[in-house]
Amino acid sequence: MPNLIFLAVILVIACTDNPSKNNDEDPAPSEEFLFGADLSYVNQILDFGGVYKSNDVQTDPYSIFADLGTTTARFRLFKDPVWTKEVYGELGTQLYNDIDDVTLAIQLAKSAGMNVLLDYHYSDVWADPGNQEVPEAWNDLSFEEISDSIYQYTYQILMHLYSEDALPEMVQIGNENNCGLVHPYANVCESDDWEELGTLLNQGIKAVRETELETGSQIKVMLHVAQPENVDYWFENVISIGGVTDFEVVGFSYYPKWSEISINRISNYVANFKAVYDREVMILETAYPWTLTNADSYGNILGSDSVIDGYEATIEGQRQFMIDLVKEVMDGGGTGVFYWEPAWITSNLKDLWGTGSSWENSTFFDYEGNAHGGFDFMTYDYSE
């Protein structure tokens, strides 16, 4: 998940030079491929004046995404995000990205016909390569107590969601965990604590598996790091030293702005990951700007330095980038691509850094709130 702190701390752990490529098979048809969208801000945007339209008609955003090809909605979960209320001062009435908000979002997504990926951050704030802050409620716990807290929290959240008919089909045990989890515990960048990290990840996975047994449901477990060049180093260590093996999906973020890997090499990496780890491979975050203009005074994260050769910052450029990226993932044998925050349009939403959106130029909506052609990559015929 890109944010302003993430921009300041980009940690490149390792680089895979030239994985083998296998392009003998044609890409899978689009109906067999998972098209995902992170819609974590939608409820908050709606509460603070955001309007979504389809053909100039105000429309429920969850229905827009489902109708235009999104098969899976992704939602982040913070533990106790009190700051999401406090940033509004006296106008703040509730928390966002907490269990209540996420429960509602999942219910709305499922009602629209989408499956759900739940993204545990195991923090009160954003977790990303440079930030994995332990929740305040877990401060000063022993490692054994932290380990138990990871299990109990993961399990209790899932059972709550089950009771609300909102159990997700997929779960991420952590978000962009390049440097570990719940720092200062399990910090694999500063202390090389792969065994600690493995213990915590396995506790989260154990909670998912016990939920499956108790509910009779099937839930895929995903592990997630930022940027493809970091995948091999991280997964090799978390498996061989951390002892983490019970997961279905190797997931990574891919933002060209912060990666050394060009888009036409993504199939190489995906094929390599699939061959080495014998698991599904998905891109869990990506994005591309459709304009370099602004709709508000909150500066955009993806600016001119995010534009790459062959893809202009236009709706067609964004659409083509996503079509080509999906083709690359399919060509490598991958099974899904998630777009990060394609609904983060401008509104009176507040976060820790500004009001409005620092992402409105990378959404799938124009500045009038209308769904635009960026959506089209989800329904493109990839069998041709």
Catalytic residue set? 176, 285
What are the C-alpha distances in Å from 354 to residues 123, 298, 348?
21, 6, 10
Give the Cα separation of 1 and 6 in Å (integer): 8
Give the Cα separation of 234 and 186 in Å (integer): 13
- Cβ atoms of 340 and 2 within 8 Å: the answer is yes
Give the Cα separation of 363 and 376 in Å (integer): 13
In the DSSP assignment, the letter for residue 275 is H
Q: What angle do CA 172, 224, 60 make, to 5 degrees?
A: 55
> If we measure between CA atoms, which residue out of 6, 50, 80 comes closest to residue 355?
50
What are the C-alpha distances in Å from 24 to residues 267, 271, 330?
12, 11, 12
Two tokens, residue 149: 């807290």
Give the Cα separation of 372 and 32 in Å (integer): 24
> If we measure between CA atoms, which residue out of 260, 250, 252, 255 comes closest to residue 221?
250
Give the Cα separation of 263 and 321 in Å (integer): 9
Burial of 206 (0-12, 13-18, 19+ CB in 10 A): middle
